[in-house]
Amino acid sequence: RRSSTLPSRGLPGTFAKMSSSKLVVMMNGLPGAMGHEVGQACLRRGLDLATMALTGPGSPKDCEVTEGEKTVKVELVGPEQPEKQQEAIGKMQAKYGKSLVIVDFTHPTAVNPNTEMYAKAKCPFVMGTTGGDKDKMMKVTTDSETYAVIAPNMCKQIVAFQATFDRMAKDFPGAFVGYKMEVVESHQSTKADTSGTAKAMVQHFNALGVDHFDVENDIKMIRTPEEQVGFGVPEDALKGHAWHTYSLTSGDGTVKFEFKHNVCGRSTYAEGVVDAVQFLGQKILSGSRKRVFSMIDVLSEGEMK
């Protein structure tokens, strides 16, 4: 693993001036499981955590994130008073300056309101929450010229998997004409929406010519423990997993392709989030004209550790 403080290609010495220890993450989504996992990964890799974060309704007033010998107490601000959440972002910007990057793992219903707050404050952010109106999110982020990484999946290998099919669809459009597709995805019961990764993959397969497949209605979601165990998910991963299977069958039934990516736990995603934060910090320092990125951008520049 390369040191996170090494300069990136094309930016000799620039990123070295802003080591990972100077980046501060406002971990919106605490005290949720993904918020804790990302917070711990940040501390483990030398980033700091902001002392305030946005949270959902009914959450406690604060929580602690502990990694090794370091513990950070975080004040949580709920959506009951949206102006208080906007104020919290402003306070963290005043406290940490340009070192602040927001990470969002909240709830599908909060995606667009939160994006609007980040754009209003022009605070760089990494959006890992899926759902909401993506076109609206992209527009408000682009129009405000806010730096952001927006992606449905943060796992290096799955990002590469997605990129491969994206390129395949561009190079060989129609390669799967006449094939019928089934998509099954299983996540922990607390995940409210359909897998954003599955939706993205369906778009690639549609471009490859499979029979009509509705990205909003044809993906099978599994959220009950009984079905999940039947799908093959280990019992000790029921509270945190992401299993996907894409099955493509020829019209006459003689040929079948099956693609799977099964993840137990959350650590691989958390590590990818830290990669995205560091990538964004680098882009800000370089004055990049492009301001909205995907995880494929992060991977393509060799910035996923």
Which residues are known to be catalytic?
187, 191
Other Cβ atoms within 10 Å of 252 Cβ, number: 7
d(CA 207, CA 292): 24
CA nearest to 218, candidates 247, 239, 256, 240: 247
Strand order across the beta sheet in which 70-77 lies = 52-54, 70-77, 62-67
Q: What is the DSSP string of the chain?
A: ---TTSPPTTSTTTGGGS-GGG-EEEEETTTSHHHHHHHHHHHHTT-EE-SEEE--TT--SEEEEEETTEEEEEEEE-TTSHHHHHHHHHHHHHHHGGGEEEEE---GGGHHHHHHHHHHHT--EEE----S-HHHHHHHHHHTT--EEE-S---HHHHHHHHHHHHHHHHSTTTTTT-EEEEEEEE-TT--S--HHHHHHHHHHHHTT-S---TTTSSEEE-SHHHHHHHT--GGGTTSEEEEEEEEE-TTSS-EEEEEEEEESSHHHHHHHHHHHHHHHHHHHHT-S--EE-HHHHHHTT---
For residue 137, the one-letter residue type is M
Other Cβ atoms within 10 Å of 9 Cβ, number: 9
